[in-house]
């Protein structure tokens, strides 16, 4: 098991190097001049321009700038925002809980509905239930996030007035954040109606962000279950007279969970990508909206370091998924 974990950790090193190159290079492909963004595009003198260029290291060769960037990152320095003049890591840690809360609710929704839907479709293969569930999953997977979000806002917020349009909680509620999760903090505040307000603000963004992962998990669960249910040990369990529920839940589902868990892990990247659109549509104050605002403000330092931090998060989740394999399937530990 130790060797398995060590191999996974060693594989992270070249991946991390590639990510830093991509993050460093992407910023330099953005239009505009970072020096002008730092100084303000109007009224900057040539002397001031050269001073800032030397101060921020833009006068150095590109390879030297890259190694300086890596050196700072290894020492925990992700740079300072051009727009707010605050450390990037501080802004990330302040906004990250909002994205975590939204992402967790979306993935919980996707797992709670997707796995049972996939199991039901597999056990009713070829029936109208199977076709309806998989057809709905295909529609959900094909639906653009920005269109789906606006459609829900128009219907539930504009026409029915059931849910708020944007934000995390109504402006009438104010309390000091403790955990960063608005649901938990609203409960801890003790203010009447705060939790209900926070929950109502979370409904539409969760549905929008969780739709595509739900569809993918449902289809993957169905495929994995159909493959496993044709194995000899499942037929043996049925021949022994075990109840259908026990055969499906104990003998079939556990062995089918490996590709499903892989799919759930891969959806973390999809959730972070979808969070950029979802948070922008619903004005959700998370890292997705933060990245979009930084691009419009030409805050190159935030874009560069934000990409790296998000990539590190996805890598950490994928490593955790790899370790879960050994928990779900003991044969992996033996191998």
- 52, part of any domain: yes
Tokens of 20: 């830093």
Contact 116, 217 (CB under 8 A): no
Query: Which among 74, 102, 122 is the end of a domain?
Result: 74
- Give me the phi and psi of 160, to 5 degrees please: -90, -20
In angstroms, rounded to a whole number, what is the distance separating the alpha carbons of residues 307 and 302?
A: 8
**Do residue 180 and residue 329 come from a single domain?**
yes
Q: What is the pLDDT of residues 247-269, one digit of tens each?
A: 776 667 777 887 888 888 778 77
Residue 327: pLDDT band with limits 50, 70, 90 = low
**Do residue 129 and residue 54 come from a single domain?**
no
**Do residue 63 and residue 133 come from a single domain?**
no
**Do residue 199 and residue 70 come from a single domain?**
no
**Do residue 229 and residue 190 come from a single domain?**
yes
Q: What is the 3-state secondary structure (H, E, C) of 130-144?
A: HHHHHHHHHHHHHCC
Record the pTM: 0.82
* pLDDT at 70 > cutoff 80: yes
Choose between 52 and 138: higher pLDDT.
138
**Do residue 107 and residue 67 come from a single domain?**
no
Domains: count for the chain = 2
Q: What is the pLDDT of residues 146-197, one digit of tens each?
A: 889 999 999 999 898 899 988 888 888 888 888 888 899 988 888 888 999 9
How far, CA to CA in Å, does 103 sit from each of 4, 99, 202? 29, 6, 11
- 87, part of any domain: no
- Report CA dihedral (57, 62, 63, 64) to the nearest 10 degrees: -20
**Do residue 219 and residue 301 come from a single domain?**
yes
Residue 73: how many CB atoms within 10 A of its CB? 20
Nearest partner of 204 among 162, 144, 264, 267, judged by Cα: 162
In angstroms, rounded to a whole number, what is the distance separating the alpha carbons of residues 224 and 228?
A: 6
Q: What is the pLDDT of residues 200-230, one digit of tens each?
A: 999 999 999 999 999 999 999 999 888 887 7
- 105, part of any domain: yes
**Do residue 294 and residue 184 come from a single domain?**
yes
- 324, part of any domain: yes
Domain span at 10:
2-74
DSSP state of 252: I
Enumerate the β-bridge partners of residue 314.
none
In angstroms, rounded to a whole number, what is the distance separating the alpha carbons of residues 149 and 133?
A: 21
- 181, part of any domain: yes
**Do residue 100 and residue 34 come from a single domain?**
no
DSSP conformation letters of 64-81? HHHHHHHHHHHTT---B-
Q: What is the pLDDT of residues 273-303, one digit of tens each?
A: 778 889 989 989 989 889 888 888 777 788 8
The pLDDT of residue 110 is 92
- 138, part of any domain: yes
Q: How many residues does the chain have?
A: 335
In angstroms, rounded to a whole number, what is the distance separating the alpha carbons of residues 62 and 163?
A: 50
């Amino acid at each position: 098991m130790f060797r398995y974990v060590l191999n996974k950790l060693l594989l992270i090193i070249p991946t991390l190097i590639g990510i830093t190159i991509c993050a460093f290079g992407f910023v330099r492909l953005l239009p505009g001049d970072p020096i002008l963004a730092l100084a303000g595009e109007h009224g900057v003198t040539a002397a001031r321009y050269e001073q800032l260029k030397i101060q921020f290291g833009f006068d150095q060769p590109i390879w030297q700038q890259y190694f300086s960037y890596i050196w700072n990152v290894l020492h925990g320095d992700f740079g300072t925002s051009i727009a707010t003049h605050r450390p990037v890591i501080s802004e990330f840690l302040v906004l990250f809980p909002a994205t975590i809360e939204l992402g967790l609710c979306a993935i919980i929704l996707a797992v709670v509905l997707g796995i049972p839907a996939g199991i039901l479709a597999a056990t009713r293969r070829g029936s109208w239930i199977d076709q309806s569930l998989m057809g709905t999953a295909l529609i959900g997977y094909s639906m653009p996030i920005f269109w789906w979000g606006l459609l829900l806002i128009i219907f539930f917020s504009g026409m029915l007035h059931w849910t708020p349009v944007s934000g995390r909680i109504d402006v009438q509620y104010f309390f000091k954040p403790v955990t960063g999760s608005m649901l938990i903090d609203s409960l801890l505040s003790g203010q009447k109606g705060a939790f209900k307000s926070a929950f109502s603000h979370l409904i539409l963004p969760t549905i929008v962000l969780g739709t595509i992962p739900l569809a993918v998990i449902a289809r993957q669960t169905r495929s994995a279950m159909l493959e496993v249910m044709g194995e000899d040990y499942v037929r043996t369990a049925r021949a022994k007279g075990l109840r259908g529920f026990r055969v499906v839940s104990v003998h079939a589902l556990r062995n089918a969970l490996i590709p499903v868990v892989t799919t759930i892990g891969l959806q973390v990247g999809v959730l972070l990508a979808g969070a950029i659109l979802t948070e922008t549509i619903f004005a959700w104050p998370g890292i997705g909206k933060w990245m979009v605002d930084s691009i419009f403000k030409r805050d190159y330092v935030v874009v560069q370091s934000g990409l790296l931090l998000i990539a590190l998060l996805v890598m950490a989740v994928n490593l955790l998924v790899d370790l879960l394999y050994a928990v779900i399937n003991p044969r992996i530990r033996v191998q």
